[in-house]
Amino acid sequence: MGIQRQETLIHWNFFLSIEEDLDRLGRFVDFSSNDEAFSIEIARLFLAASSEVDVVLKQLCKAINLGSTASSINAYQSEIVNALPNFKEFEVTVPRYGLTLKPWTDWGDNHPPFWWQDHNKVKHHRHEHFEKGNLKNCLNSIAALYISVLYLYQQQASEGELLQLPKLFNVVDRYFGGTQMGRYGHSFKYNLL
């Protein structure tokens, strides 16, 4: 018998993979009070999440406007914020560690979020800015990825197609209508407001 395949939600799977690595990191670094902790592993996760944010935001701009040519964080901002007014204020929680994150809140015209600016410093000048690959930036970049992927796959999520759920991250209720997210394989449906 041959193998049957169907299309997968690659960016959702990528987010889940990064989140799994973050969960493992939590065994060694407590997330509740070590914002400035940095290491090779934290920097690796920070860079991976930020890189995926860039890819997902480009796809989100294309989903909003098929003719979009946005290809940078500043170009994405105007297209996304105009089409999705709640995007910047979207909050996610990490209940296990008592965290609430709003990674896009300071995203403005020609002003990337603080963690994105630090991402560029670590990416291009790691020898001078390695300490910016810290837990605070890492958590915010992964939260930003989670939000971005939820918006990108809004239709699939509203149809209950995101079957494997995040282990650490959760949404703040006011951003969703319909059935709330379940845990450990329970399907869910939601609509972004």
- Judged by phi (left if over 0) then psi (alpha if -120 to 50, else beta), residue 98 lies in left
The answer to the question of residue 185 being in a domain is: yes
The answer to the question of residue 16 being in a domain is: yes
The answer to the question of residue 5 being in a domain is: no
The answer to the question of residue 171 being in a domain is: yes
Q: Which residues have a Cβ under 8 Å from the Cβ of 161 and sit 6 or more positions away?
A: 9, 153
The answer to the question of residue 130 being in a domain is: yes
Report the distance separating Cα 31 and Cα 168, nearest Å: 11
From the list 15, 11, 88, the residue with the least C-alpha distance to 45 is 15
Q: Residue 27's pLDDT is what?
A: 95
The answer to the question of residue 134 being in a domain is: yes
Are the CB atoms for 45 and 24 separated by under 8 Å?
no
Considering all CA atoms of the chain, what is the largest pairwise distance in Å, rounded to the nearest integer?
Answer: 55
Q: Residue 184's pLDDT is what?
A: 34
Domain tally, the chain: 1
Q: Residue 182's pLDDT is what?
A: 41
The answer to the question of residue 4 being in a domain is: no
Q: Residue 139's pLDDT is what?
A: 98
The answer to the question of residue 1 being in a domain is: no
Continuous segment of H or E residues that includes residue 63: helix 40-64
Give me the domain span that covers residue 109. 10-192
- Helix/strand/coil (H, E, C) string of 86-104? CCCCCCEEEHHHCEEECCC
Scan for tokens 């996760």, then name that residue: 45
Q: Which residues have a Cβ under 8 Å from the Cβ of 3 and sit 6 or more positions away?
A: none
SS3 content of the chain, % helix, strand, coil (to 5): 50, 10, 40
All residue ranges of the chain with pLDDT < 50 are 178-190, 193
